[in-house]
Structure formats: C-alpha cells, structure tokens
Amino acid sequence: MKPILLHEDRLFPVDEKTRGIARELYQSVRDLPIISPHGHTDPRWFAYDENFGNATELFILPDHYVFRMLYSQGIELGDLGITPDRSESMESPREIWRLLAENYHLFRGTPSRIWLDHVFSEVFDLNEPLTSATAETYFETINVALQQPEYLPRTLFERFNIELLATTESPLDTLPHHDALMADAWPGRVITTFRPDSVLDPEFEGFADNLETLAVLTDISVNDFSGYLAALSNRREYFRQRGATSTDHGHPTPATADLSLSECENLYQRIKAGQPTPGDAELFRAQMLTEMAAMSLEDGMVMQIHPGSHRNHNSYLFAEYGRDMGADIPRTTGYVDALKPLLNRFGNERDLTIILFTLDETTYSRELAPLAGHYPALKLGPAWWFHDSPEGMRRFREQTTETAGFYNTAGFNDDTRAFLSIPARHDMSRRIDCGFLARLVAEHRLGEEEAMDLARALAYDLAKAAYKL
C-alpha cells in the first residue's frame, strides 16, 4: 500500500519559484508555539489528565465535521455511538470504527481528510491509508497508544507545543474543571471563554429557566433590566477570575441596537413574560450585543461575534439529539447596517476589540474588510467553520487584504472539538498563509524580510495580541 499522502510541499503553490519561497517562509514558522484562543475542547481532559478511551471516542463522537459527512450518506447517528443524552458509553466502538474506515473515501478532497491523515501519521505513526482492510490495525494501534503515558492529554498538549488553549463555556457553568486547573501546578495554560447565548437569546431552549439559574448563581435579582445586566457583569467577572480574556456570541444575525433605558426595560419585561415574538427576540439579541460591547469596554474582555448560522436546521435531529449535531447551515448575513448602532457608540474606541466572523463569504470584500479597515474597534477573525479549508483560507486573504490589510485580522484559531487535530489545523493555516505571502514576494509586491515578519505575525503574534494573551 502507498503511504498516507503527507507530502512536504502539500498545500504550497504549484510553480517552482513561488513554492521555494513558501518553503522558506514555512520553515520560519512551522515550529512556533500554538495559540488556540477559541475552541470547544473539554477542559476535563486537561484538569484530570486521564487516558482517552478509544479511537472511536476520540475521533468520531466529538467531531461534527466527521459525523455530519457520514450522516449525509444515510448512516444514523445512533450507529456511530452518538446518543441523545451525550453518553460516551458504546457497546461496539470497534464496529463503529470499522464503519468510519469503510466510508473514509467520503472525505476525499475535504479538510477533514487532511486533518485526520495528519493526526494518523504524525501522532500515531500510521502510514497506510485508512480502509476496511486497515481498520483493525488502526483501531488497535491507536487504542494501545492511548493507554501510554506519552498520550495523556497534558503530555500531548506539551508535545503539540500549545502555549495557550481556550475552551468555551456557558455563564451558567460553575467552571469546576478550570478551578481544578488553577489549583494545579501543571504549567499548561488552559483558560475559559464567556459564551452567554443561553441567557441573551430569548429563543434559546430553556431561556426562562436559564434566567432563574443566573439569578441563583449571582444572588442578584433579574426581575428588572438593571438587575439582569448586573448579574451578567457578575458572571463575566467570575470568568475573568478563571483566566477568560474574551467573550463569544453565536447570534443568528449580527444585528445590534441602541435603545433607551426605558425601551430596554419594556422590551425585557415582554421577554420575561414568555412567548416573545420573533421581532422582540431579534431586537433583544441586538440590544444585548451592544450591552456586551459596553461591558467589554469596561472590563477589557475581547468580544467575538460568530453570526450567520442557522443553528439546528434539522428539526428531527434537534428534537432527538439536541444541538451541535452537524446540522448548522450558513445563511446570508449583512454587517454594514446591522452593526451600525453598536459602531455608532463604540466603533471608534481604541480600547475595545471586537472580532468579527462570517459564514457568508460574499461579505468579505464588500462589507467586512472595509469595516475592519476603518473602525479601530474591529478586527476580522479567520476563515471560519465551513470555510476553514485551504480554499477558504486563500479566499479570505485574497478578498480582505487589499482593504483591511493583515494587521486588522486576528491570526488563526482552530475552533475545534477534536483536540488531536489542533496541530494539523494550525499547520494547514501556516502553509496556506506562507503560500499567499510567497506569491506576493514572487510578484515583487512584498519584500522577503517583510514576508518573514508577516508569516510570524499571522501564525502567532496577531492572535496573541488580539485576544490579549
């Protein structure tokens, strides 16, 4: 069998001259520490440093990139060991792994294939393609390795040269795992991120109960709008004490509003009464993005906005399995008008950082790059989610650089639940960025020394600065 394709020049430009420049740039950044400022790995892994269970639990269960592709081909989530209660107990992890192996061809040409092959080869030294014929070898090799001390989460964290990793938690989370990490002498830096969707979005499931929990956790009444804001501020401080430097907002749209205090109070009371209209829900989310920006200006937390996903589009899966089942779909998103109320108040603030993301690539050159290329408070996050791919990364640079430049972007974040894929994702980003810079050098638009500086900035410095790390 042929070995897994991990060619040393993968993802570099095709023409020899530009490829040579890309190689040189890449060599200067390939071994830089990884800053992972936004993601969804489980803090328990690092707090308690216990062995991962098996290959299936590690590669299939937490990774919606993997199981959504299998589901699209008619494979039931239950057949992949995914249960409605998110239990990780499986009767037959070996058979589930074989199911992945038999269908691995479905991932040809996808970024998931690149990430997985990178992990198989670089982490587990598996150099034959994953097929039904090699499924057993893969399963046994990975499982044996996972029981060894060198494959414990903290050891892998250090092996991957991760300088910092941020997880993402609800404001209703008491963060016991982060408390355990803070009390531990382990030097690895794992911090949390404040993700308040569950208490900002009236259409989030269990919203009314979530408000009550917020009141209990903070010992602050949320019966009026001022109390509600005070409770949110209290939780932000709780997260900041556990290392958080940023917030994250996954609203359906980037709509913002700037209502008067009396308008806010009236809207809040309508929301609290239950059964909000879609218009009231959208207006409340819009106002709360502005309120979160105000709090970020006050407490210094970086604000991330991840809009434009139609969450849980598959109603059947949402009813049976809940959220984050690979059924989130990009939708058209407008930023210029939506963000104007917030920017009217805070866009010129140099002490505020708002990082914008999009799933609607049509907005890159028309809206996002011009906005970030003007307002001091704005930066652009990297190509996100469906566009976290070689082509998506190239399109991002091609469409945003001419207006926003490089220094109004926030570097790279991997935004993953799959811990072992973090080095693969950062390696892909570094290769693509080095290829883009190499083209500018080859076209005599950029000096080689400048390109070296930029390669480091894009791989490391910008993320560290943008997220105040």
Q: What distance in Å separates the CA atoms of residue 108 and residue 161, rounded to the nearest whole number?
A: 29
Phi, psi dihedral angles at 326 (to 5 degrees): 80, 15
pLDDT at 240 (0 to 100): 98
Whole-model pTM: value is 0.96
pLDDT at 384 (0 to 100): 96
Tally of residues, the chain: 469
H/E stretch holding 211: helix 207-218
pLDDT at 62 (0 to 100): 83
Q: What is the DSSP letter of 409?
A: B
What token pair was written down for 367? 């809206």
pLDDT at 369 (0 to 100): 98
pLDDT at 357 (0 to 100): 98
Mean pLDDT by 10 residues, the chain (469 residues): 77 97 98 97 97 93 90 93 67 92 96 96 95 97 98 98 98 98 97 98 96 98 98 98 97 98 98 94 98 98 97 93 91 98 98 98 98 98 96 98 98 95 97 98 98 98 98
pLDDT at 2 (0 to 100): 56
Domains for the chain: give ranges and CATH numbers: 52-151 (1.10.2020.10), 153-466 (3.20.20.140)
Which residues have CB under 8 Å from 338's CB, separation 6+? 253, 254, 255, 256, 286
pLDDT at 85 (0 to 100): 66
Q: What distance in Å separates the CA atoms of residue 200 and residue 286, rounded to the nearest whole number?
A: 10
Condensed to tens digits (0 to 9), the pLDDT of residues 284-302 reads: 999 999 999 999 999 999 9
| Contact assessment for residue 400 and residue 364, using Cβ atoms and an 8 Å cutoff | yes
pLDDT at 3 (0 to 100): 62
Cα four-point dihedral sign 43, 58, 423, 413 = negative
Q: Look at the block and give the residue holding tokens 């991760």.
A: 162
pLDDT at 83 (0 to 100): 82
What token pair was written down for 49? 């440093």
Q: What is the DSSP letter of 150?
A: G
What's the Rg (C-alpha) of the chain?
23
Q: Dihedral angle at the C-alpha atoms of 386, 387, 389, 395, nearest 10 degrees?
A: 160
Q: What distance in Å separates the CA atoms of residue 230 and residue 460, rounded to the nearest whole number?
A: 35
- Residue ranges of the alpha helices (H) in 219-356? 225-240, 261-272, 278-299, 315-321, 340-346
